Amino acid sequence: MPSPEDALRTQIANIEASSGRTMAEWGALAHERGLTKHGQILAWLKTEHGMSHGNANRVALEILRTDAAPTADDPAAAIYTGRNAGLRPIHDAIVALATSYGPDVELAPKKAWVSLRRTRQFATVGPATATRLEVCLNLPDAPASDRLEAPVGGMLARRVRLSSDAEIDAEFRGWLREAYDRS
């Protein structure tokens, strides 16, 4: 009797053979359409490509499993796909700034953001919406303002929402540096 892993490999091979597309190709097509949720991918595969529920479910699971697995060389890849892809340059600029402070900055990817740490977490970076990036900072005693908000709840005491690289100005750089220095 075949193992569950063997049965899964056979199902994937059969889907790829019958559809003429690899799992990576299905993933690329789903990303081009901005599909990031299991139900969206499932419905698209069933209605537009005529897949059975079981095969559509397996393809959706494979796409999301691949997306959720950060790679060593790009820990934020899964976060900045689909509708969030346009925020990646801002994310990269913030991470480059934080890592320029010293070699001790560790990037710890989570499902929806990347944690920036030294001895402890000093910031998180991730999408707030499809057009705004959210940077949360460990600055509990910094006075809140229109720009440096005091969110209700959350692990870090202050947040800044950014829509462009231009907003990574001297004020923002000062807040990020202060959070780094305190960690």
Burial (CB count <10 Å: 0-12, 13-18, 19+), residue 8: middle
How many CB atoms sit inside 10 A of residue 54's CB?
10
Under 8 Å between Cβ of 98 and 139? no
Q: What's the mean per-residue pLDDT of the chain?
A: 87
pTM over 0.75: no
- Of 173, 177, 142, nearest in space to 157 by CA: 142
Under 8 Å between Cβ of 123 and 136? yes
Strand pairing class (106-109; 114-117): antiparallel
Distance CA 98, CA 183 (A): 12
Residue 67 banded pLDDT, cuts 50, 70, 90: low
The domain spans of the chain are 4-68, 82-182
Q: Which of 60-74, 102-116, 164-178 has the lowest mean pLDDT?
A: 60-74
Which residues are CB-neighbours of 99 under 8 A, at least 6 positions away? Answer: 105, 107
The CA-atom distances, in angstroms, between 70 and each of 60, 76, 119, 137, 170 are 18, 6, 22, 23, 31
**Predicted confidence (pLDDT) at residue 69 exceeds the cutoff of 70:** no
Dihedral sign computed on CA atoms, order 148, 150, 152, 156: positive
**Predicted confidence (pLDDT) at residue 176 exceeds the cutoff of 90:** yes
- Of 38, 34, 82, nearest in space to 63 by CA: 38
**Predicted confidence (pLDDT) at residue 88 exceeds the cutoff of 80:** yes
Residue 167 banded pLDDT, cuts 50, 70, 90: very high
Output the six-digit token pair for 64: 């999301």
The CA-atom distances, in angstroms, between 80 and each of 83, 109, 154, 176 are 8, 12, 21, 21
Q: Which of 13-17, 44-48, 67-71, 149-153 has the lowest mean pLDDT?
A: 67-71
Check residue 112 and report its DSSP letter: S
